[in-house]
Structure 1
């Protein structure tokens, strides 16, 4: 079985990269009113639709707990050869996690705040390591299709967190220092640029998605080569924005040079010393981010580049718990997302005040509470 993840208006927000979940009554369409996930079996294909359009299909705990056993079933089901995942509503594939719910739970000590990260990471591991599946959830799929409506970003340093659900795995594996740049600055990639950066595997115009889906569903016992051939053909027929250069094309060499450093302070120094408009803008962006998050994210990606996905998820679970303990996450996510203040007061307020020991402590083993995969 293969998993093809179709990004339609993807928003990779807050704690979770754009991400797919599914489950329902085995082998039939869910028609229950208000169902958060719809599953349809078409021949040997499973078609999954995230169905929370008013919430931009944001992931909640119920969806996580339903998806995991379904994927385990499909992993060994001989009658399911391919799974296609999409979002309902036309505005978003998935806007990440239901951060409002997690934030409110954390403020009152509800265990949801801890359980959400643990169970979501286990789900990520299932998608990223299953021999039949393919890199967070959708970014861990074997095939990842972006359209002109796709938006990808990892803005976690702006809310006191870090690019989790495997961000420490796939971001360091992008070209040069691009992954570190995206992680620290939260820079947004749109449309074809998501594929050019290597986050998506293919680009297909949104008007062709329905036909693409039908052709994939009609494949009989498809191989990786079969799916790749279909996707390649649709990409070749998608000329929209093909003449436009990659949004960061003229800056790639500069990013590789200025973001090559042994520390965040070194990167900031490089940006300020360079003095170009692009470098100045990135320096101003980093100055708005959580100093603690910047240092955690830097170390996370440095370490993740040589780790397996499983090792990265264990590391990131430790980081998620450290962020809650130090309250840098719940306090600032409330200001930025819930209260719409957009003016968090970071503590510590400067990079210099964030000690190396405090960062190191965030990566320490949790003992019996460590994530088990």
Structure 2
């Protein structure tokens, strides 16, 4: 059986390579555990100066977490489903606090859980093949894996737009919004990795030298409309503003939001208010885990996964909009998330 995480040492670099191409390198629990194990070993290894994260063959860097497996686990025992998020968030926190620099090569589909392992890295490389998104509201949950922290730091109201719509960003968009630190052509990545492994202290200079002119970023032309129509933290107000615009893009955007779980959208908006109040990343992860425990128990998660990923009918029957207060209640200490 092929290892789904390959972790060679190349020069002074530790390389984490996602190797599950048929699933667009989606993360399952075994992959999360292996990445955690390897990073803990490298953390105290003086021979490892830098960590490079990429993917094997295929068009995805990482399409997210394996939510189909998680949803099926819910049918048997909710604790099994919780275990994935508990350990995934520990990996996210380990990466965020890791003492050695990381370089994520976001070459291809980078969504959900893929964002969670890319954004903690000091250097985040986009290419012409990058497709970046946080599509969680489409399956009844919210942009997690630290998404509240990463998105809420974006300029204007882009965070609210991305969270509600599941909009896909190009590599140029990622660079313009500073989600990516560098933009390289995909055919330069092998050279970049080899040079960084040979001379990790020049990582930033190497990425600068191999960077190319960034194409026009489509999202930038939409920023005034995004800032105006997503200015509210209330879902109904956002939809009303989009409906009032004499603009085809606004109409398409409103339709995209209405196709998502209304409760997941409302929870996502509130999370983007609460996340900047969390003093440290550990607090963000603790809040997101409590949210996720409540969200996967809410019917929209199983229904969204069924309609979009299992039966693929595209017709989820969402629950009416629920009050968000109960989702944000802290868990009892015995159930709460904790870092490694």
TM-score, scaled relative to structure 2: 0.91
- Correspondences of 1:329-368 after superposition (within 5 Å): 329-348=301-320, 354-355=321-322, 358-367=323-332, 368=334
In structure 2, the partner of 1:267 is 238
Match of 1:54 among 4, 12, 22: 22
In structure 2, the partner of 1:5 is none
In structure 2, the partner of 1:17 is none
In structure 1, the partner of 2:184 is 204
In structure 2, the partner of 1:250 is 221
Question: Is the partner of 1:78 in helix, strand or coil?
Answer: coil
Match of 2:258 among 251, 271, 287: 287
Q: Is 1:102–2:70 an aligned residue pair?
A: yes
In structure 1, the partner of 2:151 is 171
CA-CA distance at 1:62 after TM superposition: 0.8
2:22 & 2:305 partners in 1: Cα distance? 20
Question: Is the partner of 1:136 in helix, strand or coil?
Answer: helix
2:171 & 2:297 partners in 1: Cα distance? 37
Unaligned runs of 5+ in 1: 1-32, 349-353
Unaligned runs of 5+ in 2: 103-114
Contact conserved, 1:184 with 1:294, CA < 8 A, in 2?
yes
Contact conserved, 2:307 with 2:316, CA < 8 A, in 1?
yes
In structure 2, the partner of 1:119 is 87
In structure 2, the partner of 1:309 is 281
CA-CA distance at 1:110 after TM superposition: 5.6
Contact conserved, 1:52 with 1:58, CA < 8 A, in 2?
yes
CA-CA distance at 1:129 after TM superposition: 1.6
Q: Is 1:371–2:333 an aligned residue pair?
A: no
- What is the CA RMSD across the aligned residues, in angstroms? 1.6
Match of 1:230 among 194, 206, 216: 206
1:93 & 1:151 partners in 2: Cα distance? 9
1:72 & 1:341 partners in 2: Cα distance? 42
CA-CA distance at 1:133 after TM superposition: 4.2
CA-CA distance at 1:101 after TM superposition: 1.2
1:74 & 1:150 partners in 2: Cα distance? 28
Match of 2:292 among 302, 320, 326: 320
1:153 & 1:316 partners in 2: Cα distance? 18
Q: Judging by fraction of residues, say which structure has more helix.
A: 2
Contact conserved, 1:75 with 1:130, CA < 8 A, in 2?
yes
